[in-house]
Chains A and B, each alone.
Chain A
């Protein structure tokens, strides 16, 4: 009786025709790739946002404390340069605010005078600006890490683009793999499909049986792939955390929503591809 109940739910014998090894294994591997690409894309996006904010003051100029009186002159020289979009002095109060985390309250400390520069674009080499400035204000130093930060932000954008392209490719390969698996399943059950057809099964019935089985296998494979991705991503994100803001919180930093969406998405790809493949094949029967 137990066997009868089992077969009753699978009269096309798809449990054996569509193995629960190969397709889920392949989909798991692709889901793992997709998870890595998604996490790469999300991570690159976070770094880009962070870095773009940090690059707001792309270049800072420091005047040594004894040259602080030259501030107006330095501003005039800088504002006259065509590469400079804007130059603003950072007030002493804001300097103290910025330095407090590192230096604490040290009222007597002589602070350098600092100017924030915005350049016309991030590709400009800041070294000649520094040379020209130090002719007028000896000892002025130009700090250009912001330029590197904005270049990194551009790099992060490209990484994000590549990650999304990888994602699209993985989805395309998934469709192809499911189509091949479906065709193998049809070939293995050709007789049975023809018998079903002659006994009055509709296309919808036959295609639905394949699609449900393949959708489940794909979703299961993607679940396994997403689960495998969790430890890998946790390790990656704890290594990347210092670049993205310092705090190491791998568990909250993981793209949980993306990971959770992978199985249903793979299931839908499997279901839809199987529906199409079977209906296409059935067109040869009257």
Chain B
């Protein structure tokens, strides 16, 4: 691809969280993210770096449409995200895989059902979903744990369930928020091999981390945030 099209394009994006004390609709306080302008090409792999509180999670929430920018223009998967066209967002979200920093597994669902959830939400038939879920759980090393509830799994195992849930739909864009936080370095490298493999198959991947060891092992372009602004990209 000579001119890879943009998977994610931020143009002068700002995000300001509403203050809990302000009346609804009134956004106060400093911007958590300010003046973000960058493009992630289709099929790219990007590290998202920055100190804790720099805004990595906020940026990823914008990218997977859990949050809308308070200013600027955000384009994801070739679609400009608009607050007045919310009906378009669920279909876009289903094409994006997300590994949340705090996993966000449903506590009353088995590992299998947690991983199967995005497929079910997308309307996939049970018979076609089942082999995919089984395969992806095996891929993340959780064969035999299908029936376990999250509380019966270790932190690392829960994280791998969250990762399996993010990739089971074979998303075009995969965003992962500190996905190796609960993994030992062997598991972390295994996970990264998994993410780079998905990237090799065409998925655009963005991974937030503050593990310099990981970044050193898997060199790739990085986007560095400091206090809500991009200080380095490339």
Which residues of A does B touch, CB under 8 Å? 3-4, 7-8, 11, 13, 16, 191-192, 195-203, 205, 286
Chain A residues positioned under 8 Å from B100 (CB to CB): 198
Given A13-B108, A286-B65 in contact, is the A199-B117 Cβ separation under 8 Å?
Answer: yes
Q: Is the CB of A286 within 8 A of B106?
A: no
Closest partner residue, chain A, to B146 (CB atom): A4
Closest partner residue, chain A, to B69 (CB atom): A286
Given A13-B106, A196-B121, A200-B90 in contact, is the A8-B65 Cβ separation under 8 Å?
Answer: no
Q: How far apart sit A205 and B90, CA to CA, in the bound complex (Å)?
A: 10
Chain A residues positioned under 8 Å from B64 (CB to CB): 198
Query: Is B83 at the interface (CB under 8 A from chain A)?
Result: yes
Can you report 9 residue pairs joining A to B where beta carbons are below 8 Å apart? A7-B109, A8-B116, A8-B126, A11-B120, A198-B64, A198-B98, A199-B117, A200-B91, A202-B90
Q: Is the CB of A200 within 8 A of B122?
A: yes
Q: How far apart sit A192 and B147, CA to CA, in the bound complex (Å)?
A: 19
Query: Is B186 at the interface (CB under 8 A from chain A)?
Result: no
Interface SS of A by simple majority: helix
Minimum distance in angstroms from A7 CB to a CB of chain B: 5
Q: Is the CB of A286 within 8 A of B67?
A: yes
Q: How far apart sit A252 and B160, CA to CA, in the bound complex (Å)?
A: 65
Given A4-B110, A200-B122 in contact, is the A286-B86 Cβ separation under 8 Å?
Answer: yes
Chain B 103-162 residues near chain A, CB threshold 8 A: 104, 106, 108-110, 112-113, 116-118, 120-122, 126, 146-147
Closest partner residue, chain B, to A202 (CB atom): B90
Query: Is B170 at the interface (CB under 8 A from chain A)?
Result: no
Closest partner residue, chain B, to A16 (CB atom): B108
Q: Is the CB of B106 within 8 A of A192?
A: yes
Minimum distance in angstroms from A5 CB to a CB of chain B: 9
Closest partner residue, chain A, to B166 (CB atom): A199
Given A200-B91, A200-B93, A286-B86 in contact, is the A8-B120 Cβ separation under 8 Å?
Answer: yes
Q: How far apart sit A22 and B109, CA to CA, in the bound complex (Å)?
A: 24
Q: How far apart sit A199 and B116, CA to CA, in the bound complex (Å)?
A: 11
Q: Is the CB of A199 within 8 A of B108?
A: no
Given contact pairs A7-B113, A200-B118, enumerate 6 new A-B contacts (beta carbons under 8 Å).
Answer: A4-B110, A16-B108, A196-B117, A199-B165, A200-B94, A286-B66
Chain B residues positioned under 8 Å from A197 (CB to CB): 66
Query: Is B49 at the interface (CB under 8 A from chain A)?
Result: no
The winner among B90, B116, B122 for most chain A CB atoms within 10 A is B90
Q: How far apart sit A212 and B120, CA to CA, in the bound complex (Å)?
A: 17
Q: How far apart sit A191 and B86, CA to CA, in the bound complex (Å)?
A: 20
Query: Is B188 at the interface (CB under 8 A from chain A)?
Result: no
The winner among A192, A199, A205, A286 for most chain B CB atoms within 10 A is A199
Which 10 residue pairs spanning A and B have beta carbons closest together?
Answer: A200-B94, A200-B93, A202-B90, A286-B68, A13-B108, A198-B66, A200-B90, A7-B113, A201-B121, A195-B104
